[in-house]
Each structure stands twice: as C-alpha cells, then as structure tokens.
Amino acid sequence: MSTDSPSPDVRPLWSRGMAAVLFAQFFSAFGDNAVLFSALALLKHEAYPGWAAPLLQQFFVAAYILLAPFAGPFADSLPKGRVMLFGNGLKLAGAAGLLVGLNPFAAYALIGVGAAAYSPAKYGILGELTSGDKLVKANGLMESSTIAAILLGAIAGGVLADWSVPGALAVCAGVYAVAAAANLLIPRLPPAHPLAGASLSTLFADFSAAVRTLWQHPDTRFSVIGTSLFWGSGVTMRFLLVAWVPVALGLADNATPAYLNAMVAVGIVLGAGLAGALVRLDQVERALPAGVGIGIAVALLAMVQSLGPAYMLLAVVGACGGFFIVPLNALLQERGKETVGAGHAIAIQNLGENGAMLAMLGLYTLALGAGTPVLLIAPLFGLGLSAAIAALWVARRRQR
C-alpha cells in the first residue's frame, strides 16, 4: 500500500500565459492613466468647475460599487482571459465616447464598468497560472507592470493633452485596442466556479455569503481594510496633486501633475520589487510601517514649494506604497482562493477599495467646495491616513 502524500501544486512563475497577462495589463493600465489626464484636460478645456474633476472619478468608482456583486461571479464563471477581453472592449468604447463628444461623465462611467469587470479577472488569473508559493512574486510582477504603465500613461496623457485633447483621447482608444488584442493570447483556462441558472437574487445571496466569509476570516479582513485605505488615499492624492501644483508651484499646465504622479509610480515599482524579495505571506505585518510612512510623506508635501523636493518626496510616497500593497494583495488572493474563489475575493476587495475611494473623494470634493485651502487639506489627509494604518497595525498585532 502506498504511503506517498500527494505532490504539491508546483507551477512555474513564468509561462506564455503569464507573459500575455502582464503585457495586456501594461497596455490596459497605460490607457487607464492616459485617459484620466486626457479627460481632466477635457473638463478644463470645456470650463467645468474645479470640483468636477473628483466628481468625474466618482462616476468611475460608482461602477465598481454597483457591479461588485456581479463582477466576481462573472470573472469566476468564464475563462478569465476572455473576461479581461470584455473589460478592455468596454474601456475602448468609453474612450471612443469621450473622443466623439459623449457626455464625459457617462463615457468615463463606461470605462469604469469595463474596469470593474476586468479587475477580478486580472488578479484572479495569477493564482491559476502559478502556485501559491510564487504569488507574492507574481503580484510583484503585476504591480510593477501596472506601475510602469501608470508612469508612462500619466506622462503621455498629460503631455498629449497639452498638445491636443482629441489627439490624446484617440491614442487612449488605440492603446485599449492593443490591450484587447493581447488578451487573445491568454490561454483559455477552465472557469473556477461555473454558474448554472443564476438569477439576481442568487447572485446577491452568493455575494453576501462571500462577504461574510471573507470578513470573518482575520487574514482577508485585514487585507481588505489595508488595500482599501491604500487605494482610497491613492486616488484622492492624484486629484490633490492636480489642485496642489498651481497653488504651491505656480504651474497651470497638464503635464506637471502627470509627471508628479509618474514619480509616485517610480517609487511604487521600487517598493513592489523590495516587497516581492523580502516579504512572505506569513510576514505581511512587515509591510505596515511603510503604510504609516505614506501618510507622513503626504503631510510633508504642504511644506514643499519647488519641483525637486516634490519629486523626491513623492518617490518616497510611492516606495512606501509599493512595499505596503503587494503583500496584502497576495495574502488576499491566496486566502480568497482557499475560501470563496479568487474572482469573488477580488470583487469584494474592489467593493471595499472603491467604497473608500468614494468616501475620500467625497470628503475632498466637499472640502474644495467649502473653500478649504489645498495646503491645509494635504497635511490633514496625510496624518489621517497614517493614523488609520497605525490603528490597523495595532489591531493586527493584538489579533496575532
């Protein structure tokens, strides 16, 4: 009688499928960031008020929140490469809508719908292409690809919008088309959880059960809270920089805020690489001091009045962010795959992250509407973020 134990799940980090996912993710994220700065330039060109910029992002975020109960089951019920293709197709349609004069809020919401469908698939497929022991490294590659795209996409969007807003939007549509073509190179993997005869009520019940399961698990609850704080603050800081540049630096172009956001991306690439090399799934608490550092660095931004120190400080913000987010993402994917399925887990993560974005952007929009100086908003925002992550750190230590 054989006493051999089952062989462990060992799959390589690099494969044709992984290369196709990273290639497609680069162009999709490039388009996301280029189209944001192009859309902001469009609002400026059409003389929308200042509070319209964060409101535009809220239309994008609302799509994530409204579709959260459906995005995870959708990603898990079909081959994830085809789900990514569908998401990029919707993004292409939204960019084309901006180009031809569709209402910018409606067109950007359509891009948000595409992103909501795309996100659970792009992260969930990592656990299907490689084994759990390589997930942190796979996430490091995904985040590095994403942040390199943020770096180049933000710069391209700002620079092209200063040249021609319609030209910038046309480039964004072309980039989404390239991303969709790359999705066709991803192998057709079997669906993780095929759905048979699903109705709205069963989808809501399924999503509610998955939310309860993840919230009751200490690792997934910790990950969702941490990543929500990170992305909620990250999106808000993008708009904070757009308002901060003309006040602190006296520059009114579209390119400078894009360059500064790109410097954050450079830092995230470095931080993500360090996290992939230094942090294992059982050591995620090592990432929390970096999260506290994000808020402190943002608070110091209020004292900066020239470009050189601003670039250095924002690189620090990015490095802390990359080191913070990569282990938490990997932990959620691994524990999520073990409990409710990776697609469900990422959709629930998206709900938390976009709920945080909506809340933070809402507060930021209200502060701007009330006439609060941006040089006061920055330190309050940064210190509040540090306090929230410090509280998460204390709670995690008590739990452990």
pLDDT score of 68: 74
CA distances from 384 to 21, 41, 260 (A): 36, 30, 22
CA distances from 317 to 32, 260, 321 (A): 21, 11, 6
pLDDT score of 190: 62
Percent of the chain that is helix, strand, coil (3-state, to 5): 85, 0, 15
pLDDT tens readout for residues 214-226 = 888 888 888 889 9
| Contact indicator for 129, 11 with CB cutoff of 8 Å | yes
The residue type found at 198 is A
pLDDT tens readout for residues 201-246 = 777 777 788 888 888 888 888 888 998 999 888 888 888 888 888 8
CA distances from 394 to 141, 345, 388 (A): 30, 24, 10
Q: Which whole number is the average pLDDT over 106-123?
A: 87
pLDDT score of 172: 95
Rounded to 10°, the helix 218-244/200-216 angle is 100
| Contact indicator for 56, 108 with CB cutoff of 8 Å | yes
Instruction: Rank 84-93, 330-339, 368-377 by mean pLDDT and report only the highest.
Output: 84-93
CA gap 104, 56 in Å, rounded? 8
pLDDT tens readout for residues 2-37 = 444 444 556 666 677 788 888 889 999 999 999 998
3-state SS class at 47: coil
With cut-offs at 50, 70 and 90, classify the pLDDT of residue 106.
very high
CA gap 17, 182 in Å, rounded? 10
pLDDT score of 133: 62
Q: What 8-state DSSP symbol labels residue 246?
A: I
| Alpha-carbon torsion angle 210, 66, 177, 256, nearest 10 | -110
Count the Cβ atoms, other than its own, within 10 Å of residue 81. Answer: 23
Take residue 348 and report the two structure tokens written for it. Answer: 């629930």
Check whether 384 has a pLDDT greater than 60: yes
Single out the residue of 291, 228, 234, 240 nearest to residue 65, CA to CA: 228
The residue type found at 184 is L
CATH fold of 16-192+202-399, please? Growth Hormone; Chain: A; (1.20.1250)
pLDDT tens readout for residues 295-346 = 999 888 888 888 889 999 999 999 999 899 888 888 887 787 777 776 677 7
CA gap 329, 347 in Å, rounded? 12
| Contact indicator for 266, 258 with CB cutoff of 8 Å | no
pTM reported for the whole predicted model? 0.72
Q: Where are the domains of the chain?
A: 16-192+202-399
Concatenating the DSSP letter of every residue in 371-386 gives T--HHHHHHHHHHHHH
The residue length of the chain stands at 400
Check whether 98 has a pLDDT greater than 90: yes
CA distances from 398 to 218, 290, 317, 331, 394 (A): 11, 19, 27, 19, 6
pLDDT tens readout for residues 238-295 = 888 888 888 888 887 878 888 888 888 888 878 888 887 787 777 788 888 999 999 9
Higher pLDDT, 76 or 172: 172
